Structure 1
Amino acid sequence: MGRIRTYEWEDPSISAAAVGRATGLEFLREMQAGRLPGPPIAATLDFSLDEVDEGRAVFSMTPGEEHYNPIGSVHGGVYATLLDSAAGCAVQSTLPPGMGYTSLDLTVKFLKRITADTGRVRAIGTVISRGRQTALAEARLVDTRERLLAHATSSCILFPVPASAT
């Protein structure tokens, strides 16, 4: 029998319009508190921003079979999405008003198989180095026993965000 999963999300242009108006940390805290809508990808994969401080961001999710690849385990793209989110938002948390970022690259090492039996996983992102134009961050994906499931490094480019027309 087929399975059905439904979900909803809010208009992503609302959050996008708020980027750069405050510090990156303030932006992420507004999103975490629900005063800004989260990104649609968080609803699609059912993950959440649990913690954010300057230079650090933590996302979590409980893997389910809706995240599986054809061989019966969580797809590597799900791992990569969590790790990219954690590393990128760790960088974003260090940005002053008027600045934005985007990932230049993401290198992921998959270390352990994840299934629906794994339980809740956390992606913990931290900034390693931040300059004026680039930043380097890492993210670790761990289970509830703090076992390392995957690791990633990410380079991000930093840029001024154009002033909003509103």
Structure 2
Amino acid sequence: MGRTRTYQWEDPAILAEAAGRMAGIDFLRELQAGRLPGPPINYSIDFALDEVEPGRAVFSLTPGEEHYNPIGSVHGGIFATLLDSAAGCAVQSMLPQGMAYTSLDLTVKFLRRITVETGTVRAIGTVVNKGRQTALAQAQLFDAKDRLLAHATSSCMLFPVPSAQR
């Protein structure tokens, strides 16, 4: 008998509009508090934004079988998604209203295997350097015993939000 999982999400245009009219930290705090709907990726992978402060964002995920690759452990793309989200949102938390970012690259180093037995993991993203046009962030993925599972760095391009979104 196959296993199933269902989920639903809200229109992502709601988030894009809100992001364009708020400072990054305010937008992320509204997401964290549930006053804005989560982005569709949060529901498909089932991870959450747990903490946000200027220059720092923390996401968590409890691994499930739905995250597995063919060799019986959590797929590296799940690691990368958590790390990319943590690093990117750390950058977003420092942006004023009217500014946005996009990731230019993501370099991930996988250090330990993750399975359902690993338990909840958390990705902690921090800004290393923020300039006018680019930012450098890093993120680290830890288990409940504070063992480092993966590490990533990300360069982000900063740009003005198109006026139609403000």
Give the TM-score, by structure 1 length.
Answer: 0.98
Higher alpha-carbon deviation: 15-24 or 92-101: 15-24
Matched, 1:119 2:142: no
The residue number in structure 2 matching 1:108 is 108
Distance 1:100 1:36 in 2: 18
Q: Which has the higher helix share?
A: 2
Matched residue, 1:21: 21
Alignment of 1:125-140 (within 5 A): 125-140=125-140
Other-structure match for 1:8: 8
Residues matched between the structures, number? 166
The residue aligned with 1:85 is 85
Partner Cα distance (2:101, 2:115) in 1: 32
3-state SS, counterpart of residue 116 of structure 2: coil
Offset of residue 110 of structure 1:
0.3
Structure 2 residues not aligned, in runs of 5+ = none
Residue identity matched to 1:74: V
Quote the offset at 1:20 in angstroms.
2.8
User: Counterpart of 2:164 in 1: which secondary structure?
Assistant: coil
Aligned equivalents of 1:146 and 1:162: distance in 2? Answer: 41
CA distance in 1, matches of 2:165, 2:40: 24
Query: In structure 1, what is the equivalent of residue 35 of structure 2?
Result: 35
Spell out, residue by residue over 1:70-122, the C-alpha distance to the aligned partner (whole angstroms, 9 max, x if none). 00000000000000000000000000010000000000000000000000000
Using the TM superposition, give the Cα deviation of residue 19 of structure 1 relative to its aligned residue in structure 2, in angstroms: 1.5
Say if 2:138 and 2:151, in contact at 8 Å, map to a contact too.
yes
- Which whole-Å CA distance do the structure 2 matches of 1:20 and 1:97 have between them? 7
- The answer on whether the counterparts of 2:134 and 2:155 sit within 8 Å (CA) in structure 1 is yes
CA distance in 2, matches of 1:18, 1:164: 12
Taking the aligned partners of 1:77 and 1:56, their CA distance within structure 2 comes to 22
8 Å Cα contact 2:47/2:61 also seen in 1: yes
TM-score, normalisation: structure 2: 0.98
User: Which residue does the alignment assign to 1:65?
Assistant: 65
Partner secondary structure for residue 19 of structure 1: helix
Structure 1 segments, 4+ long, off by >6 Å, are: none
